[in-house]
């Protein structure tokens, strides 16, 4: 059971024979933390995301249906390639604990591909560039990379935020004097989510004055290469971060009682560092990690231990992950986690020994209400049983398990000698009849494969 706990709770699912081969589960997990974070190249080669966005804007009012259709096709091909590459990494990785951490932090500091076209096109690069390189580094470095990434700057509208007293705002005000036009304004979305969802938590001790001050700090943090309102573009520019002093609000700012002198881009770096090392952030992050790895109702002593390690190492995420491995609660039969749809699907692919995520995987995740990189709000997808174990969700899993059982991978397992071994992929209770069912040749093999993945034991990790 200890091996399965490592493979399923910390990893992304057991493959054929994995549990029998794993004689040191904790050591296996810790060894995955010892190397640098596994980076991934851009799948399918470089694509000019900025050009796609500018073309879409140019065609928005066009009646050229053929060009619009071609653009939609190219955008779909690009996003499908990005998504399948990420899911293939989860399905085939020899370091699944690290891949689970990538998915966790990508959801914690989430963007949503469902929000707008630029974010949809940038969601894959966001995980590759802002999350993955820092997943075993320091939390403040990850958050800074997140705040600066074009996907986040467009998703939470910071690219359009202009300091009320900035040179740009004053210039616009002079030009609009006497006109009935809305002022160029401050956007507080990014600042609010940075405080509430990414660092301190909703009860972390900030107020509306802190939100506004942080929004002023982040003015001038914008995007190049996309064109359109609020962005800066010059021919030859790629899509990326740019600090524009003309948009930045001048003067001192006070966040959480600490004054930050006027310092341009450096103001944001200083505030982010302090937020990430605030005691409330340690508690908030530890609570989410323990909820994800241990129990929907996080044991307080486990949260305290992880928060202390996070705080003592100044947000070292490698050491924080190591602290999770050493929690007694994470290995206790008293605690378990219900698999989210993404977890369940990836675990099924790993259980079948799949070598890549199939093209149908994206539609499957939509049917399961858990599409990749598309949470319904900046809060990210939920992580508890109550959010996923509804009757419709369980029925969808059963139907999809039947479909998978009839695929070539499912038929290969069903027709081979390893079918009864599907019972070894998950922790079953003492009275679980699955092992007997899988060995019963009177039941069609595709039904037995479907029962293995749709049955109660496979829904948990």
Give the pLDDT confidence of 71-116 residue by residue, as tens digits. Answer: 999 999 999 999 999 999 999 999 999 999 999 999 999 999 999 9
For residues 346 and 339, give the distance between their C-alpha atoms in angstroms, rounded to a whole number: 10
The model's pLDDT over 382-422, given as tens digits with 9 standing for 90+, comes to 999 999 999 999 999 999 999 999 998 899 998 888 899 99
**What pLDDT is attached to residue 183?**
58
Q: What is the mean pLDDT of residues 111-124?
A: 95
Closest CA to 128 of 32, 31, 221, 37: 37
- C-beta separation of 438 from 452 below 8 A: yes
For residues 367 and 375, give the distance between their C-alpha atoms in angstroms, rounded to a whole number: 14
For residues 224 and 88, give the distance between their C-alpha atoms in angstroms, rounded to a whole number: 31
Q: What is the mean pLDDT of residues 410-439?
A: 88
The model's pLDDT over 290-347, given as tens digits with 9 standing for 90+, comes to 999 999 999 999 999 999 999 999 999 999 999 999 999 999 999 999 999 999 999 9
- Cα–Cα separations (whole angstroms), residue 15 to 18, 347, 379: 5, 8, 32
Q: Please, what is the angle between helix 300-312 and helix 279-293, to 10°?
A: 130
**Count helices and strands in the chain by DSSP H and E runs:** 23, 4
If you write DSSP's letter for every residue of 25-54 in order, what string do you get?
A: HHHHHHHHHSSPP---PPTTS---HHHHHH
pLDDT bin (cut points 50, 70, 90) of residue 287 is very high
Other Cβ atoms closer than 10 A to 390? 12
- Distance of alpha carbon 126 from its chain centroid, rounded? 9
| Residue 438 pLDDT > 60 | yes
**What pLDDT is attached to residue 175?**
78
- C-beta separation of 30 from 322 below 8 A: yes
Three-state DSSP at 407 gives coil
The model's pLDDT over 183-241, given as tens digits with 9 standing for 90+, comes to 579 999 999 999 999 999 999 999 999 999 999 999 999 999 886 544 443 444 579 99
**What pLDDT is attached to residue 211?**
98
Q: Which helix (H) or strand (E) holds 240?
A: strand 240-243
For residues 5 and 11, give the distance between their C-alpha atoms in angstroms, rounded to a whole number: 8
The model's pLDDT over 12-47, given as tens digits with 9 standing for 90+, comes to 999 989 999 999 999 999 999 999 999 999 997 778
pTM: 0.95
pLDDT bin (cut points 50, 70, 90) of residue 172 is confident
If phi > 0 it is left, if psi is from -120 to 50 it is alpha, else beta; for residue 184 that is beta
Parallel/antiparallel/unpaired status of strands 253-255 and 240-243:
unpaired
- C-beta separation of 113 from 373 below 8 A: yes
Three-state DSSP at 260 gives strand
Residue percentage of the chain with pLDDT more than 90: 84
| Residue 182 pLDDT > 60 | no
pLDDT bin (cut points 50, 70, 90) of residue 179 is low
Exposure string of 314-351, with b = 16+ CB inside 10 Å and e = fewer, is: ebbbbebbbbbbebebbbeeebbbbbbbbbbbbbbbbb
| Residue 131 pLDDT > 70 | yes
- Angle 344-346-350 from CA coordinates, rounded to 5°: 115
**What pLDDT is attached to residue 44?**
79
Three-state DSSP at 254 gives strand
Least confident piece of the model among 61-70, 319-328, 357-366, 372-381: 61-70
R_g over Cα of the chain:
24
């Amino acid at each position: 059971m200890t091996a399965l706990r490592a493979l399923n709770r910390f990893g992304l699912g057991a493959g054929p024979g994995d549990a029998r081969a794993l004689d040191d589960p904790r050591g296996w997990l810790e060894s995955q933390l010892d190397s640098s974070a596994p980076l991934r190249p851009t799948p399918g080669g470089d694509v000019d995301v900025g050009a796609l966005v500018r073309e879409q804007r140019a065609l928005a009012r066009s009646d050229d249906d053929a060009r619009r259709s071609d653009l939609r096709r190219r955008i779909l091909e690009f996003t499908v390639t990005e998504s399948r590459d990420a899911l293939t990494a989860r399905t085939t990785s020899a370091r699944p604990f690290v891949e689970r951490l990538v998915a966790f932090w990508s959801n914690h500091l989430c963007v949503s591909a469902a929000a707008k076209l630029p974010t949809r096109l940038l969601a894959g690069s966001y995980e590759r560039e802002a999350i993955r390189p820092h997943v075993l580094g320091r939390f403040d470095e990850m958050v800074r990379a997140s705040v600066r990434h074009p996907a986040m700057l467009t998703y939470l509208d910071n690219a359009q935020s202009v300091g009320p007293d900035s040179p740009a705002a004053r210039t616009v005000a002079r030009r609009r004097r006497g006109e009935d036009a809305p002022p160029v304004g401050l956007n507080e979305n990014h600042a609010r989510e940075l405080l509430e969802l990414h660092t301190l938590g909703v009860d972390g001790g900030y107020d509306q004055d802190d939100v506004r001050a942080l929004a002023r700090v982040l003015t001038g943090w914008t995007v190049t290469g996309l064109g359109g309102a609020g962005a800066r573009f010059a021919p030859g520019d790629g899509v990326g971060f740019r600090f524009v002093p003309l948009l930045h609000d001048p003067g001192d700012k006070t966040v959480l009682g600490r004054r930050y002198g006027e310092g341009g881009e450096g103001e944001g770096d200083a505030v982010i560092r302090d937020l990430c090392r605030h005691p409330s952030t340690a508690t908030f992050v530890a609570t989410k990690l323990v909820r994800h790895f241990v129990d929907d109702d996080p044991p307080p002593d486990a949260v305290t231990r992880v928060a202390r390690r996070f705080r003592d190492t100044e947000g070292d995420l490698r050491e924080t992950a190591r602290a999770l491995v050493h929690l007694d609660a994470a290995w206790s039969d008293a605690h378990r986690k219900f698999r989210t749809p993404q977890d369940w699907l990836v675990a099924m692919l790993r259980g079948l020994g799949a070598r890549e995520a199939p093209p149908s995987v994206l539609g499957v995740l939509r049917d399961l209400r858990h599409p990749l990189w598309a949470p319904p709000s900046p809060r990210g997808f939920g992580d508890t049983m109550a959010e996923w174990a509804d009757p419709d969700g369980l029925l969808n899993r059963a139907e999809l398990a039947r479909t998978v059982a009839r695929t070539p991978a499912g038929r290969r397992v069903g027709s081979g000698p390893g079918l009864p071994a599907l019972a070894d992929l998950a922790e079953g209770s003492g009275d679980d009849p699955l092992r007997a069912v899988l060995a019963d040749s009177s039941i069609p093999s595709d039904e037995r494969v479907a029962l293995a993945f749709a049955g109660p034991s496979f829904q948990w990790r």
